[in-house]
Amino acid sequence: MEFDWEIFAPLFAHTLTLWWVIIPAIFLGLIVGAIPGFSAANTIIILLPLTLAMDVEVGLIFMVALYCSSRMGAGIPAILVNIPGTAGAAATPLDGYPMTQAGKGQQALAISFVASTAGGLLTTIVALLAMPWLAQVAFYLHSVEMIVVMLFGISLIATIAARDTLKGLIAGFLGLMIGAIGADAVYATPRGTFGFLELYDGVPLIPALVGLFAVSEAFLVIEGETILSKKGQDLMRRSGWSETLEGVRIALSRWWHIIWTSIIGLVIGVVPGAGASIAAFVAYQQSRTFSKTPELYGTGHIEGLVAPESANNGVTSGTLIPLLVIGIPGGATAAIMLVVLQFHGVTVGPELFIENPELAYGVFTAMAVTYALMILTILPLSRYLSRVTMVSTIYMAPLIIAFTLVGSFVPREYIFDMYLAFGFGVLGYIARKTGYHTAAILIGVILGPLLEQYFLRAMKMAQGDVTVLFSSSLGNVLWFCLVVSIAFPYALEASRRRKKEKGAG
């Protein structure tokens, strides 16, 4: 599969002529991503008859634009009101929301938008340049390697626990226990379901997500007049376009951080089934591990916001590579795109790049054009979107609860899920009031079941031999990197302590 660089200039120009498809899809994706429970996948399913009726090229461009913008849209409520729109934005509020509470919501949105578009645009270009090699990642990252990748994300629990070891570990293990609820992957024996058939497939992610973050936050904010501090209210009243420009400047000054965290998202995105949530947590964990100021993470730190937003947008181009190159969809949205391609008689695989290169490369060109248009259309909205935080909690809290409960109903259409979201809201409220970190619980709920699946798959293939976890050369390299990333903060802290002691002496 060789590149024909001569097709790109006319292909890019042709894609720009389809702005009338891309721009409406951008705004639709922005709305879809911002509503908890909705996603690009289920929206595209709803609109599937429309996309099937379109020309295959127009339909794909519409889906790609919707997919990219929904990733960015999920970060908006995560930053403003502590409600991640999707699991991929679950790490965004860790530092995005504290910025909003300090009256820097407009700045935080601008940083998020720039990090998202820059990360997405960069990884799209890298995907085009390195597609033949990136397509091989899915063949090298098997169950053993994915177990270690998962542990990178789960080790964030230990990072959070560093502030209060006992409470952090209790919260993390509680999340892992909740994630274990449901029928086990081997014998389909129900565990911890308490007789509820709705839990046999495991704890649904959206109710857990919106409950722990959104509903619990609604219970907390109703205790005050607004979600902003007094200083934050003053800053918000005085804010103008300068805050948006300042956010852009700050984000661009972290260009290297955007590059390497978005590459993490790209590589993880290539692995079918890995997803944006894993990429976001791994990027956040790595960002904090190798930061010179790890203690600032979770308090409204810029790099803590840039890392997950760059990574979860880096995933978008990664998920399409295995779809187009080897015919294996990298996620739910890519699977729906495969249905549309098959409906139009398009065969995916290496032949696609030879027989119809305009369509194969056109998908990534459309993604690049979408990200370029997004920064022009969405960035000016940051000033107006941030004003939501000025609304009184008398109105804000009921709206948050209403929207999130409806959002928790949408994916499976079970009333049970609304009760479950409310139950997680109570759990999250108690955890916050008693000093337990809800993010640690959520990490366990999201990554625990995935870790179990890959572990059981590895054990089944090795007939129960645990040493298979150390049988892969690439896996062993990843194990070494995991140990280093966990030990590095402690070694760095010890080094700083020794320097202080020498300075004092």
Does residue 2 lie in a domain region? no
- Tell me the Ramachandran region of residue 160: left when phi exceeds 0, alpha when psi lies from -120 to 50, beta otherwise: alpha
| Counted domains in the chain | 1
In the predicted model, what is the mean pLDDT of the chain? 84
Q: Is residue 188 pLDDT above 60, yes or no? A: yes
* pLDDT tens per residue, range 66-84: 999 988 888 888 898 888 8
Higher pLDDT, 16 or 236: 16
* pLDDT tens per residue, range 321-330: 888 877 777 7
Angle, helices 415-433 vs 393-409, to 10°: value is 130
Q: What is the pLDDT of residue 446?
A: 84
Q: What is the pLDDT of residue 254?
A: 92
Lowest model confidence (mean pLDDT) among 206-220, 258-272, 490-504? 490-504
Lowest model confidence (mean pLDDT) among 193-207, 294-308, 410-424, 490-504? 490-504
Highest mean pLDDT among 8-12, 182-186, 313-317: 313-317
The type of residue at 337 is: M
Higher pLDDT, 480 or 383: 480
Sorting pLDDT into bands at 50, 70 and 90, what band is 161? low
Does residue 194 lie in a domain region? yes
The three-class DSSP label of residue 191 is strand
Does residue 367 lie in a domain region? yes
Q: What is the mean pLDDT of residues 429-443?
A: 87
Q: What percent of the chain has pLDDT over 70?
A: 94
Does residue 7 lie in a domain region? no
Measure the CA dihedral 117/121/127/130, to 10°: -130
Q: Is residue 2 pLDDT above 60, yes or no? A: no
Q: Is residue 427 pLDDT above 90, yes or no? A: yes
Higher pLDDT, 463 or 139: 463
Helix and strand element counts for the chain (H, E): 25, 2
Does residue 426 lie in a domain region? yes
Q: Is residue 135 pLDDT above 70, yes or no? A: no
User: What is d(CA 235, CA 215) in angstroms, rounded to the nearest whole number?
Assistant: 26
Q: Is residue 500 pLDDT above 80, yes or no? A: no
Residue 242: give the domain boundaries.
12-504
CB 420 within 8 A of CB 445: no
Angle, helices 302-326 vs 276-289, to 10°: value is 140
CB 72 within 8 A of CB 119: no
Does residue 4 lie in a domain region? no
Q: Is residue 216 pLDDT above 70, yes or no? A: yes
Q: What is the pLDDT of residue 55?
A: 87
Interior/surface letters 196-230, b for 16+ CB within 10 angstroms, e for the rest:
eeebeebbbbbbbbbbbbbbbbbbbbbeeebbbee
Does residue 6 lie in a domain region? no
Strand pairing partners for 190? Answer: 183
* pLDDT tens per residue, range 308-318: 999 999 999 88
Q: What is the pLDDT of residue 260?
A: 94
Q: What is the pLDDT of residue 311?
A: 94
Strand pairing partners for 182? Answer: 191
Does residue 387 lie in a domain region? yes
Higher pLDDT, 303 or 463: 303
User: What is d(CA 108, CA 80) in angstroms, rounded to the nearest whole number?
Assistant: 9
Higher pLDDT, 61 or 3: 61
